[in-house]
Amino acid sequence: MRTILQILAEAGGLKGGKCISIENEPWMRLVIEVLQDLGPNGHPVVSVAHYGEQNSDPMRDPEMLFEVVEDDGIDPEFWPFYFRNDYAGIEQWSRVRSEGGEVVCLPRRTRDMEEFAKIWDRNLREQGFFEAFRRQTEGVRSGERSAP
């Protein structure tokens, strides 16, 4: 998810509690959240979601949760472990921590999520979400109001 990493880097990094909302018509709003919780392997978690609306309710299409694994001198890696699409009624985990404390992993589902994330990242880049984020933040810095 290089596009998401670029946006996070421009926004100041992986500080917990950060929420970035990007409007980029005609595409669905993109929301990136750095969560306070740690993932199943103990790494920081980032939520990436497109949001639509149905009957006045926010709908994720999709949302993915990633553990962000940082290694000195190497770009952080995004390890997907959760996928949700509210319109399709899908919610899947590929890694969870059991009550006993061990990490349970579903390798095929993890690979499927990794493949989806690669396609999604390419789409986000081609759809110009990084540039839209820059336009939004430049507007905020110059005193313009950004969309809620």
Whether residue 82 lies inside any domain: the answer is yes
Give the count of alpha carbons within 13 A of 3, CB side only: 23
Map tokens 């109001």 to a residue. 145
Whether residue 49 lies inside any domain: the answer is yes
Select from 115, 34, 118, 48 the least CA-distant residue to 85: 48
How confident is the model over 63-117, as pLDDT tens digits? 999 999 988 778 899 999 999 999 999 999 999 999 999 999 999 999 999 999 9
Average pLDDT for 39-62: 95
Whether residue 95 lies inside any domain: the answer is yes
How many domains is the chain built from?
Answer: 1
- Rounded CA-CA distance 77/44 in Å is 11
- Mean pLDDT (the chain) is 92
- Rounded CA-CA distance 143/121 in Å is 30
**Residue with more model confidence, 61 or 71:** 61
Whether residue 139 lies inside any domain: the answer is no
pLDDT at 146: 44
pLDDT at 74: 80
Whether residue 30 lies inside any domain: the answer is yes
Domain holding 30, by residue range, is: 2-133
- Rounded CA-CA distance 72/66 in Å is 19
Select from 87, 75, 113, 105 the least CA-distant residue to 28: 87
Whether residue 140 lies inside any domain: the answer is no
- Asked whether residue 139 carries a pLDDT value surpassing 80, the answer given is no
How confident is the model over 63-72, as pLDDT tens digits? 999 999 988 7
- Asked whether residue 148 carries a pLDDT value surpassing 50, the answer given is no
Reading the block at residue 60, the tokens are: 């994720």
